[in-house]
Amino acid sequence: MEVTVAKTAGFCFGVKRAVDTVYEQIGTGEVYTYGPIIHNEEVMRDLEEKGVKILQDLDALEQITSGKIVIRSHGVAKAVYDRVEAKGLELIDATCPFVKKIHKIVWDETERGNDVIIVGNASHPEVQGIMGWCRKPPFVIETAKAAEDFDEEIAENACIVAQTTFNMTKFKDVLDIFGKKGYNLTVYNTICNATQERQTETRQLASEVDAMIVIGSINSSNTQKLYDISKTECENTYYIQTLVDLDLTAFESVSRVGITAGASTPNNIIKEVLIACQR
């Protein structure tokens, strides 16, 4: 059986930077992350075993009197920064630079009184963080259907941004719909380059193999996008978190298998799956 691993599979720059940042702080006192540093249960379990604690919300933050607060790669609302500063705690910002760029865009746009449309999942922590940098309530839409149904009155100089891990094809569909509706929008393509490359490679690889394995957390937005893209090209697409989830008997009758992984998937998990497939 021929097995091909996507070159872009695994940790992206922003995730690696965030994870390395937390590991560097271990042993320097009490270390907390505001929310899971990344969406990967294996990584978070290892960090917790090494003493890192996770704060899920502002109420949990209120209980902390000392220590270091590491901001997760997805970013957080400005209110979190303000509260950490007010409490006199040390803040270490591991927000992905691509996400930080969006924070600045929406802060500047709304400061000028402009409306902001965010294309993404409103319940995802990255989008919630972006919303928390808007100085006026933003509009959040996730689907072409939502764009079709959108009939809000917005400021003349409105802008549109995207969750960094959003599906590029779907983002373009949303932009086309808004264009046909006659909205005058400044478009910021904030889908990160790593996401675009990963999605493009996944689509190409899935079209060339008999089965695809997509590795990543069930809570990972970018991994879910990879699965959706792969499924459109290869019906035999399997979404797993670790090797334990993989039924190797499903590949006994195939000759070509492709493997890709979300941006929060450690290389050791990818290697385990690869080795198992090659046996």
- Domains in the chain, CATH or no CATH each: 2-10+194-278 (3.40.1010.20), 13-95 (3.40.50.11270), 98-187 (3.40.1010.20)
Q: What is the pLDDT of residues 224-266, one digit of tens each?
A: 999 999 999 999 999 999 999 999 998 988 999 999 999 999 9
Q: What is the pLDDT of residues 50-100, one digit of tens each?
A: 999 999 999 999 999 999 999 999 999 999 999 999 999 999 999 999 999
pLDDT at 157: 85
Residue 211 in contact with residue 234, Cβ under 8 Å?
A: yes
The model's pTM is: 0.86
pLDDT at 58: 92
Q: What is the pLDDT of residues 127-155, one digit of tens each?
A: 999 999 999 999 999 999 999 999 888 87
Strand partners, 139: 117
d(CA 255, CA 1): 5
Indicate which residues carry an active-site annotation. Answer: 126
Residue 5 in contact with residue 191, Cβ under 8 Å?
A: no
Identify the residue whose tokens are 């990584």. 43
Provide the H-helix boundaries in 182-258: 193-206, 221-233
Residue 7: how many CA atoms within 13 Å on its side-chain side? Answer: 5
